[in-house]
């Protein structure tokens, strides 16, 4: 079935020819695949967390890869020439989320399939993988029910910090571990750093209010996304 579709588009299955009609068809299919992938990416990420620039990249990446494959064809000299040209480019960016990297590979695969003329398979694989990503997001596959946070509490020097907040953590059913103790304000205050495990039932405000009553209303800091340096 898909071989016949590719034959209609290219004249020869899996063997794209460099022609105007084929190039236009390739671009249209690549933009369609990129749009499906980009839409899936946006819908499977929270609106406040995904990058609009990354969504735009997912839109055009399949077309870029498909054009490169189309231009190379079976010409080895072109392949080495393009490899040398792209080696000049340097990408300096922070490591991305593993999910974003998966989407990049996904978009490149769709572009490769379109570039070699396998339009039917490209559409099939794109639709199936997008449906899989949507299903995994719907069922919250891999998401943890608990979250680890850093809790920094400032206490006066006359407070015995070893067991100062045991009752508070026990009452709110919050597992904890004292990770660091240091002095501040020339030794007049102590800063305690706890690694706490919160679940969806933990009432964070009540927990912090209970701690404030114990530490004399001094500074409290709950870090939502602790970095390795803060640990």
C-alpha distances in Å from residue 167, one per residue of 130, 156, 162, 171, 211? 48, 18, 12, 6, 10
Residues near 83 by beta carbon (within 8 Å), at least 6 away in sequence? none
pTM of the model: 0.61
Residues near 8 by beta carbon (within 8 Å), at least 6 away in sequence? none
pLDDT for the residue numbered 10: 44
| Domains recognised in the chain with CATH numbers | 2-138 (no CATH), 146-223 (3.30.70.360)
pLDDT for the residue numbered 81: 66
pLDDT for the residue numbered 85: 59
pLDDT for the residue numbered 7: 47
Query: Whole-angstrom Cα distance, residue 120 to residue 218?
Result: 64
pLDDT for the residue numbered 98: 74
Query: Whole-angstrom Cα distance, residue 22 to residue 29?
Result: 10
Distance of CA 74 to the CA centre of its chain: 35
Handedness of CA 136, 47, 29, 20 (dihedral sign): negative
Residues near 101 by beta carbon (within 8 Å), at least 6 away in sequence? none
Across the 231 residues of the chain, what is the mean pLDDT of every consecutive 10-residue run? Answer: 46 55 88 92 76 86 87 73 62 64 87 86 91 87 78 89 87 90 85 89 88 89 67 54
Residues near 72 by beta carbon (within 8 Å), at least 6 away in sequence? 78, 79, 82
């Amino acid at each position: 079935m898909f071989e016949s579709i590719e034959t209609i588009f290219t004249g020869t299955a899996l063997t794209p020819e460099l022609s105007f009609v084929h190039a236009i068809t390739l671009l249209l299919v690549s933009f369609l695949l990129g749009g499906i992938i980009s839409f899936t990416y946006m819908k499977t990420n929270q609106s406040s967390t995904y990058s609009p620039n990354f969504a735009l990249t997912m839109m055009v990446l399949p077309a870029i890869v498909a054009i490169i494959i189309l231009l190379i064809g079976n010409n080895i000299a072109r392949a080495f020439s393009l490899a040398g040209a792209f080696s000049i480019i340097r990408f300096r960016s922070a490591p991305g989320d593993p999910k974003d990297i998966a989407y990049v590979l996904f978009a490149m695969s769709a572009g490769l399939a379109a570039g070699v003329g396998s339009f039917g398979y490209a559409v099939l694989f794109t639709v199936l993988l997008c449906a899989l990503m949507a299903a995994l997001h719907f069922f919250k596959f891999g998401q943890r029910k608990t979250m680890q946070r850093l809790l920094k509490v400032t206490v006066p020097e006359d407070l015995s910090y070893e067991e100062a907040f045991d009752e508070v953590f026990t009452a709110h059913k919050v597992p904890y571990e004292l990770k660091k103790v240091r002095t501040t304000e020339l030794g007049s205050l102590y800063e305690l750093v706890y690694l706490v495990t919160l679940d969806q039932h933990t009432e964070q405000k009540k927990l912090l209010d209970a701690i404030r009553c114990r530490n004399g209303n001094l500074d409290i800091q709950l870090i939502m996304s602790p970095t390795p340096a803060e640990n």
